[in-house]
Amino acid sequence: MTSAPLATRERDSRRAARIAEAASGGWKLVLFKIIALGIIDAIAVYAALVLFASGDVVVGTIVVLATILINVVYFRRGSLPAKYLIPGLIFLLVFQIFVVLYSGYVAFTNYGTGHNSTKEDAVEAILLQNQDRVPDSPSYPLTVVEGFAGELSFLVTTPDGEAMLGGAERPLEEVPDAEFDGGKAVAAPGYTSLDFQGLLARQGDITSLAVPLSDDPNDGTLRTQDGLTAFSYVSRYVYDDAAETMTDSQTGAVYSDRGTGAFVAEDGTELLPGWRINVGVDNFVRAFSDESIRGPFLGVTVWTFVFAFLSVATTFLLGLFLAIVFNDPRMKSKKYYRVIMILPYAFPGFLSALVWAGMLNQEFGFVNTVLLGGADVPWLTNEWLAKLSIIIVNLWLGFPYMFLVTTGALQSIPDELTEAAQMDGATPFQAFRMIKLPLLLVSVAPLLISSFAFNFNNFNLIYMLTGGGPRDVAAGINVGSTDILISMVYKVAFVGANRDYGLASAFSIIIFVLVATISVIAFRRTKTLEELN
């Protein structure tokens, strides 16, 4: 009789302990949630303030609304699926969807070298880059001062004895409470005056600083060479805001805004930098109509398909052959050989490509100097040999993956099927071709499609092994004989003096359409193959 109440008390005691432990853990979770959301909110508020200050109202509003949504989801009871989905959705939106949408937007603009900002920035840059010192400019006694976050400003004394203060983005303004020493303004409230050591430490920043004299950019700027005296500089170009023209005061040439994202003269000469504008489908039209771009683009497209197909075919065939050999029960020490076979797959691909680039060096490479007895074979500088080298190196890097995949697929096929076929009179090859291979393709076909898509965009191998070379000097874009589409896009966007982000984004959209179309067709064929089996 006494054992039952005792068991009940022990059970109640354990339940109370679990409740207390859960409550303790719950408070820890709430505290962690508050701290984490506080950090996220602080970052979001700072980002929103910066975005609103820079004029990005739409993006700033999205950040605010997303932050409110996150707080509502994580502070309310329930909505457990949303709590787990929101982090992944945020990363998906920021790193995938936003990138795709922004690339699509850039494809319809002239964004690139010389056209990467607004019209106002372009006007300011043209005026600043073409300034000369005014011959009869008065000298302004100068004190260089440092403000918040190390921002430099000029504190100058005008010929009338007034103190004026200005920075790179702030025209000169009068400072009524400046401190003077011998008729020269030497300090201003809220700023730190630089001494001689400070001037030497920031000499480059000081000599490159141009302070506008007024809100009108045609009035020129103040500049200094020694940090002690400033002089007036004025641009050779005069900007007419009403007419939207830029006039060369030395030659009289007039450059006007004709809607092309730059000031253009009557003879077609452009003043750079220009500014970014929407150009519609012009980048796509250039890709297919400009002969200097269309020819290399089509050549690269054909080579990309050939490279991707040969890469998949050669690696699959070699991997399948080795899988069949090592799957034979008569093969001894199979586990050791299999370890050796997957070694190329165990090393990072870009490191292996760099090693192969050294081995295939024409003058000092291991292949020429040792294996070929000092031969002078241009493996990486001849167009066709470079393409052959890429196929060989990719075969070395890719066959272990196919070997592992096909080994697993072959081992999953019952041996009774081939044994029954051989008892009916089929040869081993016929049994493999008619039974094992179709079953094998059903399981590995999706992997072959994904491998094709991967090699279609195999940037690392091309960039590390040949850099896309040898260079096609006749092309209107930066492209080489071994470039595939993705490496060509990289070069057009980020390599060389003339970077065309708009054209590169147009190429990216074309690549996306090609890969998506091929994948859809291939997966439909795979489904048909499954139905046949």
In this prediction, what percent of the chain has a pLDDT beyond 90? 52
- My answer on whether 349 and 459 are in the same domain is yes
Tokens found for residue 291: 């002969």
CB atoms within 10 A of CB 101: 11
In the structure, what pLDDT confidence band is assigned to residue 98 with cuts at 50, 70 and 90? confident
Considering the domain architecture, whether residues 255 and 294 belong to the same structural domain is answered as no
Q: Is residue 187 part of a domain?
A: yes
Nearest to 203 by CA among 218, 225, 219, 174: 225
Which pLDDT score, from 0 to 100, does residue 279 have? 94
> For the purposes of burial, counting CB atoms within 10 Å of the CB of 82, is it exposed (0-12), middle (13-18) or buried (19 or more)?
middle
Residues 17 and 100 in one domain: yes
Residues near 33 by Cβ (< 8 Å), separated by ≥ 6?
A: 74, 75
**If phi over 0 gives left and psi between -120 and 50 gives alpha, with beta otherwise, what is residue 244?**
left
Quote the pLDDT of residue 19: 53
**Greater model confidence, 335 or 298:** 298
Residues 263 and 346 in one domain: no
Number of domains in the chain: 3
Expressed as residue numbers, the domain containing 339 is 288-532
Residue 282 maps to a domain: no
pLDDT of residue 191: 94
Please indicate, yes or no, whether residues 417 and 522 belong to a single structural domain of this protein: yes
* Same-domain status, 481 and 417: yes
Task: Look at the block and give the residue holding tokens 């010389």.
Answer: 114
pLDDT digits (tens, 9 = 90+) for 388-444: 999 999 999 999 999 999 988 888 888 787 778 777 777 877 878 888 888 888 888
| Helices 291-327, 437-456: crossing angle, 10 deg rounding | 140
| Token pair for 50 | 């910066």
Give a yes or no: residue 150 inside a domain. yes
Q: Where is pLDDT greater, at 18 or 516?
A: 516
pLDDT at residue 51 in the model: 87
Stretch 170-176: mean pLDDT: 92
428: preceding bond cis by omega (within 30 degrees): no
251-256 contacts at long range (C-beta below 8 A, 24 or more positions apart)? none
Residues 145 and 52 placed together within one structural domain of the fold = no
Q: How far is CA 368 from the centre of its chain?
A: 37
Q: What is the model's pTM?
A: 0.79
Residues 227-272 have pLDDT tens digits of 999 999 999 999 998 999 999 998 999 999 999 999 999 998 999 8
- What's the whole-number mean pLDDT along residues 302-306? 95
The answer to whether 185 touches 178, Cβ cutoff 8 Å, is yes
Per-residue pLDDT of 54-81, as tens digits, reads: 778 888 899 999 999 988 888 887 777 8
Question: Does pLDDT of 23 surpass 60?
Answer: no
